[in-house]
Structure 1
Amino acid sequence: MNASFDWAKGYASRRMPVFGNNVVSTTHPLGAQAGLRMLWKGGSAVDAAIAAAAVMTIVEPCSNGLGSDSFCILWDGKKLHGLNASGFSPAGWTPEYFRGKYGDDAKTPPVRGWDSVTVPGAVASWVALSERFGKLPFADLLEPAIEIAERGYLVPTAIQHKWVGAFGVEALVKQPGFSETFLPKGRPPEVGERFAFPAAAKALRKIAETRGAALYGGEIAEAIERHSRDEGGVMTAADLAAYKPEWVDPIAQDYRGYTAHELPPNGQGIAALIALGILDHFDLAGLAPDSAEAQHLQIEAM
């Protein structure tokens, strides 16, 4: 490969370029190491991505979790594949349910608690991607996350800031189980303080042993239903059992010699494609990148 890249192009950066046949990039080095570990074992890029994603639920729990949604656009060398693993609503979420519970406030969905939680799709996406594009046994992919959750890790600066800010700790301390899980000493962990996640390690072991089935119909699903019921929610094990991620065809928009791809709705990627389609009608290249005029056009397009 001819590495003729213009390093002076765009904005100046103090970061050094990274070269390699394979690269795994995450916001925590343990996530990247987990992905590289799979590649060293002969795994595919998908194996690496799953291992890294699993670790991120442990080392950056303020932004990732086993209850997350998941989205993927993947090029297999011949075709572009899309996977939408956003969570479905529980079957009990009817208009009558919300009107009966919230009255006049039913049009404004709650932002905390079980009435704001959809069926988790992330683990199902890991299983689907592993089955279709993985090379290693599924259980191998979760080994690094389980190890880190059991032994703990030292919380870095950026993630500690997210722990305090992104979590919105003051709003979440009233949620059952939050403080016991994420505030083990009654507060967010300090920078450099060890944080272990044994409950997540236990869940990940069950998920690894059953290829995700424990979350979508086994022990974990039953625990989710019990907790939901005890706290006034309506999610059931049947909701979890009914969940399947969706393989979809990405949608595209040509823009000045390039083609951008996004997942179709219900994902929000279509908004970026619409904005590019609008901007294609303007001489954006004739404006200074950070000028008020350029910023105005981009903001209005969005």
Structure 2
Amino acid sequence: MVTYDSLHYPYPSQRNVTYGKNGMVATSQPLAAQAGLDILKQGGNAIDAAIATAACLTVVEPTSNGIGGDAFALVWVKGELHGLNASGQAPQSISIEKLKEQGVEEIPKFGWTPVTVPGAPGAWAELSERFGKLPLSEVLKPAVQYAREGYPLSPTLSYFWERATKAFKEVLKGEEFESWFDTFAPNGVAPKVGEVWRSEGHASTLESIGETNARSFYEGELAEKIDAYSKKYGGYLTKEDLAAYKPEWVKPISVNYKGYDVWEIPPNGQGLVALMALNMLKDETFSTRDDEDTLHKQIEAMKLAFTDGEKYITEEKEMSVPVDSLLSDAYAKERRALIGEEAIQPEAGEPSKGGTVYLATADREGNMVSFIQSNYMGFGSGLVVPGTGIALQNRGHNFSLDPSHDNALAPGKRTYHTIIPGFLTKGNEAVGPFGVMGGFMQPQGHMQVVMNTIDFGLNPQAALDAPRWQWMKDKTVLVEQTVPNHLAQQLSAKGHNIQVTHQSGSFGRGQIIWRDPETGVLAGGTESRTDGSVAAY
């Protein structure tokens, strides 16, 4: 069965690959990309540029991320790949028992209950301290300037801002949400395309984070404001939770896919899902991208991997099945054997037990960063700490209230996390950073971009522009209107419930930077489904 939606959302035109030699920044907002490039020109490295871009994005794309969100990074420095997990834990005072006593059967999307410790400011400080060249206060100056002086809204940003404002008017009714409207929709109206929006609260907060290397956010004045706001409205997050927080350096995980190593952050992130799907398909030969057999096998592999991910992924130490077992060749072959000619109803296997922004940066020294940051579900919890511009995330919504589930809520625990940065290497050489943001679309986008690059030889921009699909649940698959009709019909005949949509925003937004190992030339692609930009020199 093939169904079509009636929502009109214009599909943007494709763009050309951008080339550069000295440095490159690719992200979803031109102002943020330019800010990162300016930092490179001022003597900063790719790490400084990534921090500057990320901080700017909290200002120029608040519909997808904020100061009160989480972040992850893969950092290539001097021939080595480093992973940073800057996702925050559940507050120490929350528990399944406490919520159930209050009649909560599912963690809500909005308000204080789903709020977890923000990790993004900690990520900026940790990256700056370990790998940066410039002071954090200098690196955050572009973001401070945009917040204080304002900037005009771009088209896609305005679209999502207005949509969120309309939705929040319907669901955010309590006094605790007034600060969100004061900050992002003064007089109850979202800013329009070309209208200048500014936030002195954002500016002051970013200055404080820069001057104190984020200590004010976790132990100082900003922490006190967060704590007071939480106490006033019965929240679980405390200044003690903030003071105990520290980002974690982790060892990236990978699979070898047809001669390339594809890297992801280990759980609690869902990058493992992309790797499991690629592992199932690595011995397959695909003749062409726009082919019934190609798309069918991609979809089947992805839904098998996702079903495993939903059952097992949480904090790695809490998983009932080790990552190595899920990525083993034996398990990949076992799961691959389930892929036949017809769409199947996916079930988790039994292996051996033992609203987001993405950016990529590179500099002339060979350093490269894959960085992702999010509040989750657009603006997050709907809570903004009064006077600060700090929009708090609602990442705790992903916790399960089933005590027997691997991802069960527990005090001080990290939840299953959707945001994932990706990185590609070949041999001992970096190919470069890549990512596709967008909730549970992310591992699906990772797999499609990697295969577009390796299997089908598409350049960075073409790999991003290519039509996408998204497995939703059971046998339901969403496909873009640019997927040829005959392919949609052929997939339907195989038992897939194909839904063709004009809403390209649901298929994620990606960025890619590849480096030529011989010349050092950088080739970048940016998402044509949003206001994306590649800045290079």
**Normalised TM-score (structure 2):** 0.52
Partner of 2:439: none
Taking structure 1 as reference, are residues 54 and 14 closer, same or farther at Cα in structure 2, changes over 3 Å only? closer
Partner of 1:182: 184
| Residue type of the alignment partner of 2:73 | C
Give the superposition deviation at 1:166.
5.4
| Alpha-carbon separation, structure 1, partners of 2:294 and 2:170 | 38
CA contact (8 A) 1:172 1:178 kept: no
Give the superposition deviation at 1:171.
4.8
Partner of 2:115: 117
Runs of 4+ in 1 over 4 A off after TM superposition: none
Give the superposition deviation at 1:164.
2.4
SS of structure 1 residue aligned to 2:59: helix
Taking structure 1 as reference, are residues 220 and 248 closer, same or farther at Cα in structure 2, changes over 3 Å only? same
Partner of 2:153: 155
**Worse-superposed segment, 131-140 or 168-177:** 168-177
| Residue type of the alignment partner of 2:205 | A
Q: How is 1:235-250 mapped onto 2 (pairs within 5 angstroms)?
A: 235-250=237-252
| Residue type of the alignment partner of 1:79 | E
| Residue type of the alignment partner of 1:40 | K
CA contact (8 A) 1:31 1:55 kept: yes
SS of structure 2 residue aligned to 1:115: coil
Q: Say whether residues 1:299 and 2:299 are aligned partners.
A: yes
**Worse-superposed segment, 82-91 or 34-43:** 34-43
| Alpha-carbon separation, structure 2, partners of 1:291 and 1:271 | 23
Taking structure 1 as reference, are residues 32 and 280 closer, same or farther at Cα in structure 2, changes over 3 Å only? same
| Alpha-carbon separation, structure 1, partners of 2:211 and 2:133 | 17
Deviations 1:2-47 (A, max 9, x none): xxxxxxxxxx954253333201112222211211121121111101
Deviations 1:66-90 (A, max 9, x none): 0111000111122110000011111
Q: How is 1:247-286 mapped onto 2 (pairs within 5 angstroms)?
A: 247-283=249-285, 285-286=286-287
Taking structure 1 as reference, are residues 299 and 55 closer, same or farther at Cα in structure 2, changes over 3 Å only? same
Give the superposition deviation at 1:169.
3.3
Partner of 1:99: 100
Greater share of helix:
1
Deviations 1:147-175 (A, max 9, x none): 11011110110111121235643455433
| Alpha-carbon separation, structure 2, partners of 1:16 and 1:269 | 26
Deviations 1:168-211 (A, max 9, x none): 43455433411111101321111001100111111112111211
Q: Say whether residues 1:128 and 2:126 are aligned partners.
A: yes
Deviations 1:212-257 (A, max 9, x none): 0111011111111111121221110000000010100000101111
Partner of 2:204: 202
SS of structure 2 residue aligned to 1:114: coil
Q: Say whether residues 1:233 and 2:235 are aligned partners.
A: yes
Partner of 1:143: 141
Partner of 1:6: none
Q: How is 1:31-42 mapped onto 2 (pairs within 5 angstroms)?
A: 31-42=32-43
Q: CA RMSD in A?
A: 1.6
| Alpha-carbon separation, structure 1, partners of 2:153 and 2:206 | 20
| Residue type of the alignment partner of 1:154 | P
SS of structure 2 residue aligned to 1:84: strand
| Alpha-carbon separation, structure 2, partners of 1:171 and 1:243 | 34
| Residue type of the alignment partner of 1:294 | T
Partner of 1:25: 26
Partner of 1:61: 62
Taking structure 1 as reference, are residues 164 and 24 closer, same or farther at Cα in structure 2, changes over 3 Å only? same
| Residue type of the alignment partner of 2:153 | V
**Normalised TM-score (structure 1):** 0.90
Partner of 1:9: none
CA contact (8 A) 1:173 1:179 kept: no
SS of structure 2 residue aligned to 1:214: helix
CA contact (8 A) 1:86 1:120 kept: yes
CA contact (8 A) 1:73 1:82 kept: yes
| Alpha-carbon separation, structure 2, partners of 1:192 and 1:289 | 38
CA contact (8 A) 1:63 1:166 kept: no
| Alpha-carbon separation, structure 1, partners of 2:168 and 2:196 | 19
| Alpha-carbon separation, structure 2, partners of 1:20 and 1:204 | 31
CA contact (8 A) 1:252 1:261 kept: yes
| Residue type of the alignment partner of 2:277 | A
Greater share of strand:
2
Taking structure 1 as reference, are residues 14 and 44 closer, same or farther at Cα in structure 2, changes over 3 Å only? closer
| Residue type of the alignment partner of 1:231 | Y
| Alpha-carbon separation, structure 2, partners of 1:62 and 1:84 | 22
Q: Aligned pair count?
A: 286
Deviations 1:250-287 (A, max 9, x none): 0010111111000100011000000001112433x13x
Q: Is there any run of 5+ residues in structure 2 with no aligned partner, and where? A: 1-12, 303-537
Taking structure 1 as reference, are residues 66 and 263 closer, same or farther at Cα in structure 2, changes over 3 Å only? same
| Alpha-carbon separation, structure 2, partners of 1:166 and 1:300 | 33
Q: Is there any run of 5+ residues in structure 1 with no aligned partner, and where? A: 1-11
CA contact (8 A) 1:38 1:141 kept: yes
